[in-house]
Chain A
Amino acid sequence: MLKINNLHAEIDGKKILKGLTLEVKAGEVAAIMGPNGSGKSTLSYIIAGRPGYEVTEGSITLNGVDLLALEAHERAAAGVFLAFQYPLEIPGVATMTFLKAAMNGQARQRSEAELTTPEFIKKVRNAAKDLKIDPEMLKRPLNVGFSGGEKKRVEILQMALLAPKFAILDETDSGLDIDALRIVADGVNALRNRERGFLVITHYQRLLDYIRPDSVHVMARGEIVRSGGPGLALELEKSGYAGYADEAA
């Protein structure tokens, strides 16, 4: 599934990732934990193809496809999905319009048939219902005036509709109260299957009570410094990141 090998990356000449290697298999939920400033969000952005980073060494492949050779929208069509830590507000673009543009944009790139409007509306309504999203909200401009919990639920709605091969959740728990966290986690868990891989990035162990990982990796100073099973997250909750970080907040 996702293979990251010896990844080095920098932004504005500042080295952020320093030889990161990680493999996530199909059906696996891998959690990345680590102190602030360890490069967790950078890793998620680089996988998704955000401009501004320079990869100086290493590779990222998804099922053998070289992601680094693709533009962000091509990576999305290849099956990469990033649930943003801070979903962007897009004034003037109705959420439904955006969802349709995204689904059709991916379909076009994959030379698949675009959804008809009734098919599209039905799909969105069903997915929104599962995530307890009021369909009226989807007529509003994307994320504008949405609460933190609503934004995260709409991220998961997008994930459900786009049905990616591989999903990255960047600090999806930040800004969520316990009820919203449960809804979001249920949404993610409903999408788990044997083919789909997940990379769950989080600072706190709390999220992993709801989205149970298969593996846990500790990231510090731009690389994976320790890997283990779910028990590692609990251990970190007790001991903190003190042993790993030189710049922990």
Chain B
Amino acid sequence: MSRKKDFSSPDMPLTPAVFYILLSLATKERHGYGIMKQVDLDSKGKVRLGPGTLYGAIKRLVDEKLVAEKESLSDERRRYYKLTDKGMRIFKTELTRFDEAVSLAKKRKLLESISLSTVVFI
């Protein structure tokens, strides 16, 4: 089965790379290098994107209209990327899924026995 997410069905989980890219764009628009640094920071170094992986993911997100491209006024060599309404909707669906999973884990007292840092995205 393909691991790639079909964004037309928002029930499928996002890959870690796509999740962190959307997370980095949820608060402000960024250029490619900015996204890379923010993903590294947000994931505490666990998700490191090379330029190949980053722009491969960006192309797919732009093609699927989850992310929009914007020319930079200050630096014409760079392009900025921002989340679209569809991108934000899918990102929020994913956050809700995490929230529900964490609530369920808390209710079953599972979070007391495991460290949060070892939680792996499913």
Are A and B subunits of one complex? no
